[in-house]
Structure formats: structure tokens, C-alpha cells
Chains A and B, each alone.
Chain A
Amino acid sequence: MEFETVIGLEIHAQMKTRSKIFCGCSTEFGAPPNTHTCPVCLGMPGVLPVLNRKVVEFAIKLALATESTINLENRFARKNYFYPDLPKGYQISQYELPIAEHGRIGIEVDGEQKYIGITRIHMEEDAGKLVHDDVEPVSYVDLNRTGTPLLEIVSEPDIRSPAEAAAYLRKLHAIVRYLDICDGNMQEGSFRCDANISLRPRGQEEFGIRTELKNMNSFRNVQLALEYEERRQRDILLDGGQVVQQTMLWNPDKGRTEPMRGKEEAHDYRYFPDPDLVPVEVDEAWIEAVRRDLPELPDIRRQRFMTELGLPEYDATILTASRELADFFEAALAGFANAKKLSNFIGTELLREYGPERITECPVAPAQLARLLAMADEGTISGKIAKTVFVEMLASGTDPDVIVKEKGLVQMSDEGELVALVREIIEANPAQAQQYRDGKTKVIGFFVGQLMKKTRGQANPQLANRLFQQELS
């Protein structure tokens, strides 16, 4: 039997606001436990939440970027459950009236384009963290994270393969980074993904029994976990068995999904409108103000790179994979106008060392890269030397001019100087010279190589070629 995979993703993106969603405490990561807390986020008796309007603004940004419908009146609701990292005994979230609904995100897998629907986007507060002691059977509660603003983005069950899931996740990740509303760090948990996955016989409309996957803290793990779970469910169904509806944790060390330990209680969250908060009112003027401030989004930028700069789709897609990379590219383009050459160099030399997400860590400034390519272009150094110089630049951040000068890497383009060396080499290798004269012109590579050795790679290769041809004939 042939099966169709059905996947839906729930993503929690931590907002990059300076303060928490309902109090003035800092959202900074990594502070000593319980230092970024106050009576409000500690859930002391008698405290009340006050909404941080920046969170609403960020939610509007994401809603606009995903073509979602914004609910001009939306409200917060309480999700009630007990856990030590949840000081009030309820999480303030949105339920019946989220801030945005009915959006979509375009993805591309194997050259095929499709849209993944977004069911809803809602605002909520994060919980704290339990820290389990390594030795004693004791757990500690750290409430620094409590009240950090989150946007939860729930997709429609429109995703049909783990590859599509990964593409959707990457696209959403790029969008929140382009919007500068989330730092997207999956390891630190500021961009988290849970998945629902089920299989159904192809052609059947009804969904199969699903499992929920958690603990996938990288793009790769999301895809691996879904691929594993897809295989596991298919095997069960092919054996005539039934998938058990449950929550599974991805074990990256063992490369498999495992049922969450302990009995999972069926939660009744008893949602109801939070009486401490008035309905959130968003008006058209606010939406328009946010829209005016929206940065260029990845799809539009990619299109522009293709039409304005004449880059192939492949290059444009790579260069717009993150806002930082696209910014880097355009900044370099200001100093070196050949977009394709620049793209090639970035694609091969730069991205090998710093991926699209890590480009800001690169010690080479866009202007320095532009200068390097310009030097190669005008013949000051050879293309080969340029790559060597770049390695040096990556290591030290030094300007290319300085490196080239200090190491004496300027290309030798003086014909008189080179011709003497060329003659010397021909004289020293009479056998090869004869071969050339007998028609084995390929041997010219050998001669150029000898010259490069003598000049430590500084000889202008085009010139070298011409001179050997001239002197050997």
C-alpha cells in the first residue's frame, strides 16, 4: 500500500523584546538564576499583568509577512495547569481570539513551489526552567525565562514530507530573522519546533492517527526525526498494526524517536478569557505604520537579486537564505559591482567557513571582500592568490592590501621580467620543449607550473601562457 505523509508544525519563536511580555524584567539570556524576576513574573499574590505593546507590534509584523488576517480585537486567555516552572498555575496565552489567523508561507522543494497554510499566530508568555541537579535527586526552579514573549505559529496539516517540513521551518526561520523579531537560536531554544505527523493510505481523505514529536533542536534533527517517525509509522501500518497516539521525543544520539517517559496525563487546560487583561485592540493605522516599516522579505529580495542583478535563481536563493548574508552581499556589492563574480566567491570561499546564519561572526568586512575581488579583477593579484589572501583575511581580519604588500604577493605582469624567467625554464627543460614543438601543446601547463613555482604563484597566468607560446614556437 502507498501512504501519504501528513505533517503539521507548531513553532514557538521567542521575541527579541528587551523586556518581558507582562512586566518590566529583562529578557536577556544567561543571567544567574532568578535574577531577572519581579513580583509580577514570580506570580506573587495580588500582582497583575500589563501587556508590552512591542510584542503586539512584532506579532503584527509576522502576520503581515505571512499574509495572515489580523484580528483587530483579540484577547488573552488563561491556560491552566500545574507545573513548578509555571508560577501562576496558568500560562497567559491566546485561545479563541488569537492576534492573527489564515496565513500562508511559500516553500520550494525539488524545484516545486507550494504554499503551507498557517492556522494561527498567537502571543503568549514562556514558562521558567527546571534545573535538575547532577548528583542529588533535587530540582531547582529558574524563573528568568518566565514571561519572555513568544509567538506560537501553528501550521495547517499541509506538509507532505520531512523535506517540506524542513523547507517550511527554514523559510519561517528566515522570515522571523528578516523581521528582526527573533534571534532564531534553536540550540538556546529561542526558536522551537514541535511536529505532528501521521500517515494515511494515498487517496484517503481522513487523517491517520498522529504522534507528536518534541525535542528537535536543529533543522537537521527536525528532518531526521520526521523521517524516522515516517518509517516507523509505515512499518506499523504495513504490519497491519495501529499507531498509538502519543508524544515522542527525538533522541539524537540514538537517532530514533522514543515515547515520552511516564504516563502522560490527558490535560484539560480549562481555557477562559483572562479577566486581568482587557481585549487587545489593533487599528488599521497601527497596521499600516508597521507595514511601512517592514524590511524587504526573503522572497522579494530573491526576486530582486534575479531581475535587478541578473543572478541565476540558484545564487539568489543562497544569498537570501538569511538577512545577514543578503545584507553582507549587498554591502560588498557597493564596492565590487560584478554581482556574479561576487556571488561565486561568496558561494565557494565564504560560505564554506561561515554559514548564512553565522555570517555576522565573519571577521572579514564586506568592504574588505570587495577590495580583494577588485584587486583580482584589475590584475593586481591573481585569482588563485586572491583565495590565499582571503584565507589570511579570515584568520586575521587584515586588509587585503596589507597582506598582499607584506607578503609580496603582487602579480608579476612585467613582460620583460617574466620573459627572462620563461627562457630560463625552457632552456632547463629541453625534452618538454621538444614535446611542445612536436605538437603536444598540453605540456604548456607544465611550463606555467614551473614559472608559478619560481614566482611563488605571482606570475600573471594569462601572460605566462602567452609568453611560453611565443618563446616555444
Chain B
Amino acid sequence: MEIYSLTLTQAREKLARGEITSLQLTEAVLFRINQVEDRIRAYLHLDREGALARAEEADRLREQGRAGDLLGIPLSVKDVLCTRTMPTTCGSRMLENFTPPYDATVIERLNQAGAVILGKVAMDEFAMGSTSENCAFQVPVNPWKEGYVTGGSSGGSAAAVAADECFASLGSDTGGSIRQPASLCGIVGMKPTYGRVSRYGLVAFASSLDQVGPMTRDVADCALMMNVIAGYDHRDSTSINREVPDYTRALVDGMEGIRIGIPAEYFGDGLDPEVERSVRRGIDMLREAGAEIVEVSLPHTRYCVAVYYLIAPAEASSNLARYDGVRYGFRDQDARTLIDMYRASRSRGFGDEVKRRILIGTYALSAGYYDAYYKKASQVRTLITDDFRQAFARCDLLVSPVCPTPAWKIGEKSDDPLAMYLSDILTISANLAGIPAISVPCGFSSDGLPIGMQMQAAHFNEEVLLRAAHNLEQRAGVVGTKPELA
């Protein structure tokens, strides 16, 4: 096996034992990127020189006896996280040439842990989308099948991890943007509890829903990444000051004493039969591992999409107001008056989906509509959160599919926003409730596309998710299966 195909945990062990150097590892990954990037199209910005320099520095530090959780490990990050040394475009013309003056807290944490950040990967513009097709610069392609979507919005992260173009990536998840592409690309992706990981430097889409999380080749790698990025940050008022456990210790064999809830509402109409079969097989494996299975109900599930598509655009309409052409980012140079400059800069700088959501959100917050839309949605959000609280009184985690279908063809749904929104139906409730959720590969469709299982747990119960995901991984035998690429 090529060293770029190792898991993060394996690569780390080899580095620790001195079997390889970070420079070798980084060169191997850069070689791999050269080899497959034309097909995958994950990287918006690749910093070869910087990565090699960081790798050499990591090797030097290791010689001096220094260690770090990610010392010398090549990673990628979604282009929504602010980096001082690389552009941060959010996949938008609006920020095409923008390099932030500061690093996001999670970037600082990666750097402190010694990571080698290779570059920034593609995403739907401002994280709005479910396929990454809304990226203004390039559309990443599913490593498992030419011409198929990676999912989104963290599609570049999922594709790069699945295609061995990095050992892990950081994504962001507002309504499923980590879990859904992880599922469609056959990798592990976790959305932590809201407040577990700092949002400082994560370019906001919907502030009350956004959360940064790891996208990795397996569950152990996910736990390791969580150890690095989780924790309180005084710069984020919504981050929570609570002790961070060693997540790698959560990977216990066996599911004895764990009760798994199956929400009937998550197995409804529109669920692809192959997906359902695969997930149900996964549930059987967890039962065999010792888990108890119970039926539960989340009665307000049917309102999730409606609630989400009011709250998220409402917050986005305000969060994206700062892109006005005055201080940074795209400015229309021909406009003659202030209002014209605003109008032209925003009309030309933003893509259609972003403008659609700004319009929806602006409408939902308007005088005379606020009570009927935003306020009502916030109230229903409380009911949805209550559903979960009641469910978690009866079980430790909830298991369901991640996405109703496996990956689809690029362009297939791009003219039908409503169909696209409905593909988020199983993932957005975790964001509305603020609970942690993970996507773990559990099988393949008949035409070889990955299928993921979603697990959700109560606030700050990431450990039970990691344990269950680890046990599924042990039994499903999916990890290690690689897409066939050049």
C-alpha cells in the first residue's frame, strides 16, 4: 500500500516510530494530488511550498523530541475556515482574492498540533448547497464514480479524504454539510455538539446552526481530530466551557448496555430501498455487538425542512450583509452611486443559490412576516429539540440513514432547489437541536456508491457516537475499501 493511503492513525504511528518522515509523507500526498486531482477537482488552493516547509519543520521538531497530536500530518481544510497564509474564498466570486488577516481558532489548533495544512478545498458557495455544484470555481467529483456529485457543502473535503489527497479534512456542517458528503464519498464525518468546537474564524452561514467537524478515513482518526479541535474558546460566546475527554478512549469494542433508538420518521417515503437495506443491516450488526434496539418517535420531524429553510436563510441574509464591496472582496468598479455599487457588487459577486437564500431570509425577517415565519420557526425548533430530549430519555443514540439516496449525477438536481433541499431531510434536525451526529460508511449500492449510517446522540455525548461508529466499522468491513482511481 502507498503511504498516502494510510489512515491518519497509521501514518502517525509510522512517523512516531521513525519509519517515515513527514517530508516523505507530504511528498507522497502531493504526488497523489498530482495524480488524481484532474479527476477529483477538490483543491481550490494548494500550498505545495508551504506544506513542504511545514513538513521539514515537523521533522526537525520531532528530532528535538517534540510531539504533537498531528505532528507532520498533511491535512486539508474547507475553504470556509479563515487562514492567514492562504486565500479563503468560501467558494465565492465575492471573496475570490481574499486572504483574511487572522487564523480561525481551529486552524490555530491544527497548527499547534503540528499539522501540515496542504491547502483549501472546494465547497458550495458560502456552504449553501448539497452537492458542491454551487462552488464558483470548480465542482469536485465523487471519487467512486466519474460524473457523480460528492455531496455538499463540504464536498471538497469528502472527495480529498476519499481519494487519499490528504489524511483528514475539516468541514463545516449547518444542515448536514459534513455528514452528507461523508456518506456519499464513503468516509467518516462528525458534526460535534453546538458549542463544542469554536466557530471563531468559520465564515458564518447560519450562526445558530454552524459547527466545524472532522472528516476522516475511519472512526479512530475522527476521535483523534476531535481531541485537537474540541474545547472552549473565549472568542466564541457560544462555545461551551466544558472539559474535553480523550475521544480515542471512547472506541470500546462491544455495545453492551447501549440502547439504540430507531426513529420511524427517518425511514419514510422517498428512502432509496438499497439505502434502507444497508442501514438496517448495519443496525443488525450493532445488535449483534450487544446493543439493545428500541423504536422511538420524533413526531415533529416533518417540520424540520421548513423550519431549517426559514432559520438558516434568515441568519444568512444578515451574516452575508458584510459583503458589500466597501472594505474587501468583490466590488463592481463601474457603479457610480453607493446604492448602485452595493447592488451591482452583490448581484455579480454572489451566485444564484446564495442570492435565493438571502432573498428568502430577508423576506422571513421582514416587518409583518417575522412572526409568521422566523418567530414561528424558532418556536417549532424548540419542539423539535424537545422531541430529541424525550427520545434520549429512552435510548443512548438514534440510528438512521444520512441521505435518502446514494450520490447522484452532477447536474441532475441542480435546477430543482426544492428536491435538493429535501435531500437534507435526515440531517438538519441535529443542527436545529444542536446535538452531535456522525456519518459512518455501512455499505455500497449495487452500482458501487457508498452508503452511510447516521448516528445522533444527546448534547456532548460524542463518545457514545464514536463507540457505536467504531463497532459498526469493525463489522461492516467497509473501511479500507478504496475507490479505483488512476
Binding site for B on A (CB under 8 A): 39, 42-51, 78, 80, 82, 84, 87-90, 141, 268, 270-272, 275-278
Known: A45-B90, A45-B98, A46-B203. A275 touches B208 (CB 8 A): yes
Taking a contact as CB atoms under 8 Å apart, the answer to whether B204 and A46 are in contact is yes
Tell me whether B234 is interfacial, beta carbon within 8 Å: yes
Taking a contact as CB atoms under 8 Å apart, the answer to whether A39 and B362 are in contact is no
Measured in the bound complex, the distance between the Cα atoms of B237 and A51 in whole Å is 8
Chain A nearest CB from B230 CB (Å) reads: 17
Tell me whether B101 is interfacial, beta carbon within 8 Å: yes
Query: Which one of A88, A89, A272 contacts B370 once the chains associate, using CB atoms below 8 Å?
Result: A272
Taking a contact as CB atoms under 8 Å apart, the answer to whether B338 and A84 are in contact is yes
* Chain B residues touching A, majority SS: loop
Looking across the interface, which residue of chain A has its beta carbon closest to that of B338?
A: A84
Known: A270-B365, A277-B237. A46 touches B201 (CB 8 A): yes
Tell me whether B367 is interfacial, beta carbon within 8 Å: yes
Known: A46-B200, A48-B235. A90 touches B318 (CB 8 A): yes
Measured in the bound complex, the distance between the Cα atoms of B369 and A268 in whole Å is 11
**In the complex, which residues of chain A have a beta carbon less than 8 angstroms from the beta carbon of B235?**
48, 50
Measured in the bound complex, the distance between the Cα atoms of B264 and A212 in whole Å is 58
Measured in the bound complex, the distance between the Cα atoms of B201 and A248 in whole Å is 42
Looking across the interface, which residue of chain B has its beta carbon closest to that of A141?
A: B326
Interface size on B, residues (CB 8 A): 43
> Which of B88, B104, B318 counts the most chain A CB atoms within 10 A?
B318
Taking a contact as CB atoms under 8 Å apart, the answer to whether A276 and B207 are in contact is yes
**In the complex, which residues of chain A have a beta carbon less than 8 angstroms from the beta carbon of B318?**
78, 80, 89-90, 270, 272
Taking a contact as CB atoms under 8 Å apart, the answer to whether A43 and B322 are in contact is yes
Taking a contact as CB atoms under 8 Å apart, the answer to whether B199 and A44 are in contact is no
Tell me whether B390 is interfacial, beta carbon within 8 Å: no
Looking across the interface, which residue of chain A has its beta carbon closest to that of B102?
A: A39
Looking across the interface, which residue of chain B has its beta carbon closest to that of A51?
A: B237
**In the complex, which residues of chain B have a beta carbon less than 8 angstroms from the beta carbon of A46?**
81-82, 88, 100, 104, 200-204
Looking across the interface, which residue of chain B has its beta carbon closest to that of A139?
A: B338
Chain B nearest CB from A64 CB (Å) reads: 26
Measured in the bound complex, the distance between the Cα atoms of B202 and A39 in whole Å is 13
Looking across the interface, which residue of chain A has its beta carbon closest to that of B80?
A: A46
Query: Which one of B81, B321, B362 contacts A90 once the chains associate, using CB atoms below 8 Å?
Result: B321
Measured in the bound complex, the distance between the Cα atoms of B374 and A44 in whole Å is 26
Looking across the interface, which residue of chain B has its beta carbon closest to that of A83?
A: B338
Query: Which one of A45, A82, A271 contacts B82 once the chains associate, using CB atoms below 8 Å?
Result: A45
Query: Which one of B82, B98, B321 contacts A80 once the chains associate, using CB atoms below 8 Å?
Result: B321
Q: Mark B102-139, 1 if CB is under 8 A from A, else 0.
A: 10100000000000000000000000000000000000
Looking across the interface, which residue of chain B has its beta carbon closest to that of A143?
A: B327
Give me 18 A-to-B residue pairs in the complex whose CB atoms sit less than 8 angstroms apart, sorted by A's number: A39-B101, A44-B100, A45-B95, A46-B104, A48-B200, A48-B235, A49-B237, A82-B324, A82-B342, A87-B322, A88-B321, A89-B318, A268-B366, A270-B317, A270-B370, A272-B318, A276-B238, A277-B238
Measured in the bound complex, the distance between the Cα atoms of B326 and A49 in whole Å is 21
Taking a contact as CB atoms under 8 Å apart, the answer to whether B365 and A89 are in contact is no
Taking a contact as CB atoms under 8 Å apart, the answer to whether B366 and A39 are in contact is no
**In the complex, which residues of chain A have a beta carbon less than 8 angstroms from the beta carbon of B59?**
none
Tell me whether B284 is interfacial, beta carbon within 8 Å: no
Looking across the interface, which residue of chain A has its beta carbon closest to that of B88?
A: A45
The 6 closest A-B pairs by CB, nearest first: A89-B321, A275-B208, A270-B365, A275-B207, A45-B203, A46-B203
**In the complex, which residues of chain B have a beta carbon less than 8 angstroms from the beta carbon of A50?**
234-237
**In the complex, which residues of chain B have a beta carbon less than 8 angstroms from the beta carbon of A45?**
82, 88, 90, 95, 98, 100, 203-204, 322
Q: Mark B327-367, 1 if CB is under 8 A from A, else 0.
A: 11000000000100010000000000000000000100111
Chain B nearest CB from A56 CB (Å) reads: 13
Chain B nearest CB from A274 CB (Å) reads: 8
Tell me whether B314 is interfacial, beta carbon within 8 Å: yes
Chain A nearest CB from B195 CB (Å) reads: 10
Measured in the bound complex, the distance between the Cα atoms of B315 and A88 in whole Å is 13
Chain A nearest CB from B124 CB (Å) reads: 16
**In the complex, which residues of chain B have a beta carbon less than 8 angstroms from the beta carbon of A275?**
206-208, 238, 315
Query: Which one of A42, A47, A272 contacts B200 once the chains associate, using CB atoms below 8 Å?
Result: A47
Known: A46-B100, A277-B237. A80 touches B203 (CB 8 A): no
Looking across the interface, which residue of chain A has its beta carbon closest to that of B328?
A: A44
Taking a contact as CB atoms under 8 Å apart, the answer to whether A270 and B362 are in contact is yes
Measured in the bound complex, the distance between the Cα atoms of B206 and A253 in whole Å is 49
**In the complex, which residues of chain A have a beta carbon less than 8 angstroms from the beta carbon of B238?**
48, 275-278
Query: Which one of A89, A141, A268, A271 contacts B322 once the chains associate, using CB atoms below 8 Å?
Result: A89
From 4 to 57 in chain B, residues with beta carbon under 8 angstroms from any chain A beta carbon are none
**In the complex, which residues of chain A have a beta carbon less than 8 angstroms from the beta carbon of B95?**
45
Chain B nearest CB from A310 CB (Å) reads: 54
Give me 8 other A-B pairs in contact (C-beta within 8 A), A45-B322, A46-B202, A50-B237 excluded. Answer: A45-B95, A45-B100, A46-B104, A47-B102, A48-B238, A51-B237, A88-B322, A270-B365
**In the complex, which residues of chain A have a beta carbon less than 8 angstroms from the beta carbon of B201?**
46-47
Looking across the interface, which residue of chain A has its beta carbon closest to that of B94?
A: A45
Measured in the bound complex, the distance between the Cα atoms of B327 and A42 in whole Å is 9
Measured in the bound complex, the distance between the Cα atoms of B424 and A457 in whole Å is 97
Chain B nearest CB from A424 CB (Å) reads: 85
Taking a contact as CB atoms under 8 Å apart, the answer to whether A48 and B326 are in contact is no
Measured in the bound complex, the distance between the Cα atoms of B250 and A457 in whole Å is 97
**In the complex, which residues of chain B have a beta carbon less than 8 angstroms from the beta carbon of A271?**
365, 370
Measured in the bound complex, the distance between the Cα atoms of B203 and A89 in whole Å is 15
**In the complex, which residues of chain B have a beta carbon less than 8 angstroms from the beta carbon of A270?**
317-318, 362, 365-367, 370
Looking across the interface, which residue of chain B has its beta carbon closest to that of A278?
A: B237
**In the complex, which residues of chain B have a beta carbon less than 8 angstroms from the beta carbon of A80?**
317-318, 321, 365
**In the complex, which residues of chain A have a beta carbon less than 8 angstroms from the beta carbon of B88?**
45-46
**In the complex, which residues of chain A have a beta carbon less than 8 angstroms from the beta carbon of B374?**
272
Taking a contact as CB atoms under 8 Å apart, the answer to whether A48 and B237 are in contact is yes
> Which of A46, A48, A84 counts the most chain B CB atoms within 10 A?
A46
Chain B nearest CB from A291 CB (Å) reads: 27
From 216 to 268 in chain B, residues with beta carbon under 8 angstroms from any chain A beta carbon are 234-238
